[in-house]
Amino acid sequence: MLLKKISSEPRNLERILDNLQDGIIAHDLERRIFYYNRKAEEITGYSRDEVLGKDCHEAHGGPFCGEHCLFCTSPAAPSIPINTDTVGYSITIITKSGESRQLDMVATMMKDENGQDFGVLASFKDITEIMDLQLRMGEISNFSNIIGQSPRMLQIFQQIRDIAMYDSAVHIHGETGTGKELVALAIHNQSQRSDAPFVAINCGALPDGLVESELFGHIKGAFSGAVRDKKGRFELADGGTIFLDEIAELPKHVQVKLLRFLQEGTIEKVGSEQTISVNTHIISASNKNLKDEVKKNNFRSDLYYRLNVIPVDLPPLRERKSDIPLLCNHFLKKAAEKYSKKRLSVSKEAMSAMMDYNWPGNVRELDNVIQFAMIKCRDNAISFENLPMELTDMQTALLKKRGPLKKLDSHMVKATLEKTGGNKARAARLLGVGRATLYRFLNNQL
């Protein structure tokens, strides 16, 4: 009787929910919030009085779930069908005080007594401190779809988290294939603009006569073939982020217009004298050193200083080789799904060859190598023979340069491995041989 009385008291149920360590938000099919527990107040900084009865988007200054929001097109008609199954994901929110917080979110469509949808229940945990600790301890291997666990990549992950809160211009420098667009997208997804468009454009791939039109748009009749008004990439990115890849390839006359936008926040369409205000975060990237391009008079110095407010320097794969096994696993999984094949492993000999290779094409080249090897492989593990000629020829040349296998003996190798605590890479350096040579020697001893 006592239990029945306690459970029948609405206030007691509210007390229970208020003492949960998860934030709880519930809204109806019109996105009107009708429940907000104490932990939700604590995490978001918004009080119940500020949000109850309001549209979830308006109450939080934008979709609380960011890009994952299922009610962005129309409150009563979700843009993505929701099943009774639970949907889980990680999101970045901006609190009332402007602080960025990382949350683990679980959302479920609620049903009434007749089995009809009547609202959404979302529970969430603040994992910001946990992520910060994992970054400091080097325990993160995947951050916003970027794979890596080397010290250089952990620094990049932390830098992304630090700069995502600000709208200052970001310039990413890195060789071709290092993942500059992935970093730009991660910055966007971690920012308060994550629910707005991310528009990427390769400046080097634009036809010379259409660069200005592609970026800033044009009006009907501005030039031959302009049969209607067209929005440019900047206008399409209004409220969000525009990513200008290979920005060093921009013609000088377009650089002037970009500088004006950075100074005034306005653009002019080709053929128009009307200025349009656009609110977008600019992230640029180049595989060229922009400072060198300035010295060569290929790039405006004033534009360089406007773009390079926050520089991000992406390391090439040859400087983060400890990430190669992680990346291989990631690409093997992706390739297995793409080709509907079983997931393969990589033999020690093949992995050793990949660790010795210099990777001029960086992560993109590694992805291609894994796809090539997977298609060629007929066993459960990718072998040395399955690798492309670039790697096998290089490995053969290295073996000839380093000398024959007979320079190693079991006692010498055993003593060196004991000295290095089993670290084979360090042991190979001490022995004066390549890792592939040491691995081959050890395999022959088995």
* pLDDT tens digits, one per residue of 289-335: 999 999 999 999 999 999 999 999 999 999 999 899 999 999 999 88
> Is the pLDDT higher at 188 or at 84?
188
Kindly give the pairing relationship between strand 170-173 and strand 281-286.
parallel
Mean pLDDT of 433-445: 75
In sequence order, which residues have a C-beta less than 8 Å from that of residue 87 and are 6 or more positions away?
68, 70, 106, 107, 108
Find which of 10-14, 58-62, 68-72, 388-392 is predicted with most confidence, using mean pLDDT.
Answer: 388-392
Extents of the domains making up the chain: 2-126, 164-313, 320-390, 403-446
Residue 193: CB partners within 8 Å, gap ≥ 6?
A: 239, 240, 241, 281
CA distance 118 to 124: 20
Distance CA(76)–CA(364), nearest Å, equals: 42
257 band by pLDDT with thresholds 50, 70 and 90: very high
DSSP-derived 3-state class of residue 287: coil
- pLDDT value at residue 71: 67
Report the SS3 class of residue 445: helix
User: In terms of C-beta density within 10 A (0-12 exposed, 13-18 middle, 19 or more buried), how is residue 10 classed?
Assistant: exposed
Q: Which two tokens stand for residue 365?
A: 């080249």
Distances (CA, A) of 310 to 166, 318, 440: 10, 24, 46
For domain 320-390, the question of CATH label 1.10.8.60 is answered with yes
The two beta strands, 170-173 and 310-313, are parallel
CA atoms lying within 13 Å on the CB side of residue 385: 3
Report the mean per-residue pLDDT for the chain. 84
Structure tokens at 344: 């393969």
- Tell whether domain 403-446 is in CATH 1.10.10: yes
What are the two backbone dihedrals, phi and then psi, of residue 253, each rounded to the nearest 5 degrees? -70, -30
Asked if the model's pLDDT at residue 118 lies above 70, the reply is yes
Question: What is the pTM for the complete model shown?
Answer: 0.73
State residue 87's pLDDT score: 80
Q: What is the H or E stretch that residue 373 is in?
A: helix 362-376
Residue 277 has a pLDDT of: 94
Q: 414 by DSSP, 3-state: which? A: helix
- As a residue count, the chain comes to 446
**pLDDT at residue 91 greater than cutoff 70:** yes
Least confident stretch, 105-109, 186-190, 409-413? 409-413
Right CATH for 2-126 from 3.30.1490.20, 3.50.50.60, 3.30.70.2200, 3.30.450.20: 3.30.450.20
Q: How confident is the model at residue 414 (pLDDT cuts 50, 70, 90)?
A: confident
Domain 164-313 listed as CATH 3.30.70.100: no
Report the pLDDT value the prediction gives residue 92, as an integer from 0 to 100: 78
d(CA 358, CA 346): 18
pLDDT tens for 353-365 read: 898 899 999 999 9
Closest CA to 33 of 42, 19, 23: 23
407-432 burial code (b ≥16 CB/10 A, e <16): ebeeeebeebbeebeeebeebbeebe
- CA 11/CA 234 separation, integer angstroms: 51
Mean pLDDT computed over 275-285: 95
- Weakest mean pLDDT among 4-18, 84-98, 101-115, 272-286: 4-18
**Do 320-390 and 403-446 agree at the fold level?**
no
Question: Cα–Cα distance between 349 and 387 in angstroms, integer?
Answer: 11
The pLDDT value given to residue 74: 47
In 3D space, the residue among 61, 84, 57, 82 whose CA is nearest the CA of residue 72 turns out to be 57
**How far is residue 187's CA from residue 6's CA, in Å, rounded to a whole number?**
48
CA distance 153 to 231: 37
Give CA–CA dist 391/397, Å, rounded.
10
Whether the Cβ atoms of residue 350 and residue 387 lie closer than 8 Å to each other: yes
Q: How much of the chain exceeds pLDDT 90, in percent? A: 37
- The pLDDT score that the predictor gives to residue 395 is 66
Q: How many angstroms separate the Cα of 419 from the Cα of each of 42, 58, 431, 436, 446?
A: 52, 63, 11, 19, 21
The pLDDT assigned to 67 comes to 64
Average pLDDT in the 432-443 region? 76
> Which one is predicted more confidently, 304 or 85?
304
